[in-house]
Chain A
Amino acid sequence: MTDLVRQAQQGDQAAFQSLYREHVGRVYALCLRLTADAGEAEEFTQDAFVRAWERLATFRGESAFSSWLYRLTVNVVFLSRRAARRRLQRVFATDDPGTLERPGRDANPGLGVDLERAVAALPPGAREVFVLHDVEGYRHEEIAELTGIAVGTSKAQLFRARRLLRGMLES
């Protein structure tokens, strides 16, 4: 366990900010690819770091902090998706001004290459499995656990994603 993590566990916000600076790019990339939406990606990135701060005490150093953080990020994204209905209701009703300021998908500078665009255009289930398996390196068993789908479904979605991507990139 690094000193920064230890200090953050003691409540040192400056240390936690350093951890944020170190990992925000990777967390944001993960959120962006899972959601294909720059606004949602920003929101989930913030949620992930807030959740990480709240749950730092449960990090025991049995894996790398980065692995723990990225897994937590995936959890945040999928838990939020399950609660999407409630989220939409709330955002609409409170009309959070922040939602008005989010850049649209076209404005996202992170989707500037063909493959990124093609991944973003995949159906959500296929995109999530592709990102987790082929980009992030999770195994199907882990994806099943994280997303709540069956292992077979994860494999099928991966195959579907790959075929769709190949078709999109060839055309």
Chain B
Amino acid sequence: MTERDQDAEFRELLERAAQLPKSIEPPRDLWPEIEARIAGKARVRFRAWLLIPLAAAAALAVLLLGRRGPPRPGEAWEVTRVAGLPLVGTTPLGATGALKVGDWLQTDDSSRAVILVGDIGHVDVKPDTRIRLVRAQRTDHRLALERGEIYATVDAPPRLFFVDTPAGTVVDLGCAYTLAVDSSGDGTIHVSAGYVEFDWSGRRSIVPLGFRAETRRGFGPGTPYAEDASQALRHALATFDFAHGGGGAEAVRQALAAARPEDAVSLWHLLGRVDRVLRGEVYDRLASLVPPPAGVTRQGALQLDRAPLETYWNTIRRIAWRRSILKGIRDIDPRTGMAR
């Protein structure tokens, strides 16, 4: 049967197909999310003449790499100098270089660099930073940040990129974040996309987009808090998380008093960190701020049953995510996550 025969056989169908609307409006406006995604992706105009020096540089790179032999994948990542004179080991970094497993990259107060994390992301290394490549495997991309500040962006399945710090390990869950560590090993993490998990010795914080967490050597990650959390809440959480010698119950009660619906992420974390008596108070306050979804009972939460806690968490983080992503676009009810 020829295509013409087919067209005759299916004439009625083809006529109906031709009448289908070419355009269907999506059920909601997709532009705000597109705008958020392209923000910061400054477009680079194509200029053919730029290819000339680039080609020359590429040829030179091939020549140099060919001479000494490139590091094999799995052994090194590419690192690029952005400003100043970063050091790889004791050697000043040229325009680009290789950061091999075990190598330290160090920037001073006027130098910066970018590390390509295999083919899954990159890490901006800010001034006064010392960082080491620990592993460069497909399932374990791992850096160790001794001090300084990095901004990491990863586009990969979760749990492929890790950063060890003196206060624990940052586990990428598909995200972008800024991580700072001071000379004493304490630090902060601020998440600007997705989620980050911070682990230390069985203590775990999940930091969503728009949240921060303090970290302390010997204590691990603190309770995450919203960027716009009150000073009273931050102070109470820091006291509970890191103060030596007690005062925990009082700090928790201060945190509960200072908490808003927008701080539900913080209270959810407290559920697993306080004793059973306090846990009841935390749950009651949390439930008054963000009503628990179906299937979550007070008893289950107090027993730290995994299923109800995860169900509650999914509701809380979904609200937090909508609040962050739609900030300035829609007025989101922090108790439900729905537009008001």
Contacts and interface: CB of A to CB of B under 8 A. Distances in A.
A, B in one complex: yes
Interface string A95-118: 101101101000111100101100
Contacts of A9: 43, 45
B90 interface: no
Interface string B32-51: 01110110011111100000
Given A25-B23, A93-B158, A115-B16, A56 B10 contact: no
B285 interface: no
Given A56-B43, A86-B157, A90-B157, A13 B21 contact: no
B24 interface: yes
Contacts of A69: none
Contact of A28 (B13, B25, B34, B45): B25
Q: Is the interface of B mostly helix, strand, loop or mixed?
A: loop
B38 A53 contact: yes
Interface string B316-335: 01100110000000000000
Interface in A19-47: 20-21, 24-26, 28-29, 32, 38, 41-42, 45-46
Interface in A44-61: 45-46, 49-50, 53-54, 56-58
Contacts of A11: 42-43, 45
Given A42-B30, A53-B38, A135 B314 contact: no
Contact of B45 (A49, A57, A165): A57
Contact of B24 (A28, A56, A100, A162): A28
A67 interface: no
Contacts of B14: 134
A171 interface: no
A50 B37 contact: yes
Nearest to A56: B43
A169 interface: yes
**Interface size class for chain A?**
35 or more
Given A53-B38, A57-B43, A93-B158, A38 B17 contact: no
Contacts of B174: 90, 93-94
A115 B20 contact: yes
A168 to B, nearest CB: 10
B26 A42 contact: yes
A17 interface: yes
A129 to B, nearest CB: 12
Contacts of B312: none
Interface string A140-158: 0000000000000001001
B318 A100 contact: yes
A94 B172 CA distance: 10
A166 interface: yes
B122 interface: no
A135 to B, nearest CB: 6
A108 B24 CA distance: 11
Interface of A: 9-11, 13, 16-17, 20-21, 24-26, 28-29, 32, 38, 41-42, 45-46, 49-50, 53-54, 56-58, 86, 89-90, 93-95, 97-98, 100-101, 103, 107-110, 113, 115-116, 130, 134-135, 155, 158-159, 162, 165-166, 169
